[in-house]
Amino acid sequence: MIRTTLPIIIILTLMLAGCNAQKPSDKDTKTENTQKEEVTPEDTKPAEEDQAVTDEEDPEEEPEEEATEEETEEADEKASSETTSIDATWNKYVNKDLGFSINIPKKMWDGYGAECIKEENSYRPKAGYVATKIFEEPEKNAVFIAPEYIHQISGAEKVEVEPGVIKTNYTKCDKFESTIKRLREDLNEVYIGHWRINILDMENEKALDTYIKDRYGRGCSFGKKVATEKEDLFDIEIEGDGKSMDEDTECPINYITVLKYSPGKKKLANWDIGQDSTFWADDNTPLDPEMEDSFDFE
């Protein structure tokens, strides 16, 4: 009996163990399914979610707006010239398109129109410094140098302050900003002292003589070239017809005018100064001579 029963018990034990190995418990099944559900979202939603994140972090750049015609012209104008500081008094202005340079004072003394002050019942002009400014006129091959603005009093009223004593009061003081139109006197409202530097192609001295006659009068002619400290740059002297202003001269030049000629570059620079200097350091120190001497063709 003992020998027969023991094998049977062993066989039954092995069968039960096989059943347990083939049929996992509910607990094990739930654990395995949970692990699959946790892993699947990361592995089965591939590039779409990753791409969405990428798009948020690195959005598509919008195309840049094209510059307007005015902005393009302004950029071209800025690129065609430059102004650099030399010291506390001077700037160097270079116009690349016209091919010249000149030193320009950063500010100029205005003994009459820097500002206005009110005294009792009248405005009075006050002296002071005004910034110097460049105005380019590329279509005319010209450059203006002028004060940034001036003041002008007006509205004159005669007042008898005491018997036989008349005083003039001014009721207005206007500020005039320099502009191309004002400097060309197109507006015919106020005169602002300035230089207008004209740059011209000049083939030879014969062409220069023709220009002088056309510009200043048929009684004027090419006089002579005077060497300057600059290489290939000459001051040109104009020869008149020998008649005075009272004798109906055909070369009516009674003011300061400048002609700078480069035979090598075949260029002429021409500007009028007037009866007296335009730019001043103070009441007694003109800056025009230093400006003129600094001029050169690039």
* pLDDT on residue 66: 55
**Model confidence over 113-166: pLDDT tens digits?**
899 999 888 999 999 999 999 999 999 999 999 999 999 999 999 999 889 999
Burial class (CB in 10 A: 0-12, 13-18, 19+), 215: middle
The answer to whether residues 136 and 145 touch, using CB atoms and an 8 Å cutoff, is no
Residues 104, 151 contacting (CB under 8 angstroms): no
Domain boundaries, the chain: 69-109+131-149+194-202+266-297
Q: What is the pLDDT of residue 68?
A: 54
Strands 221-227 and 149-162 turn out to be unpaired
Which among 257, 75, 97, 108 is positioned nearest to 193, based on CA atoms?
A: 108
**CA neighbor of 84 nearest in space, from 69, 100, 106:** 106
Query: Degrees (nearest 5) of the Cα angle 71, 194, 116?
Result: 95
What is residue 78's predicted lDDT score, i.e. its pLDDT?
52
Place of tokens 């020869």: 239
Per-residue pLDDT of the chain (298 residues; tens, 9 = 90+): 344 443 443 343 444 444 444 444 444 434 444 444 444 444 444 444 444 333 444 445 455 555 554 454 454 445 589 999 999 999 999 999 999 999 999 999 999 889 999 988 899 999 999 999 999 999 999 999 999 999 999 999 999 988 999 999 999 999 999 999 999 987 778 899 999 999 999 999 999 999 999 999 999 999 999 999 999 999 999 999 999 998 999 999 999 999 999 999 999 999 999 999 999 999 999 999 999 999 999 9
Q: Which two tokens stand for residue 27?
A: 């607990």
For residue 70, the model assigns a pLDDT of 45
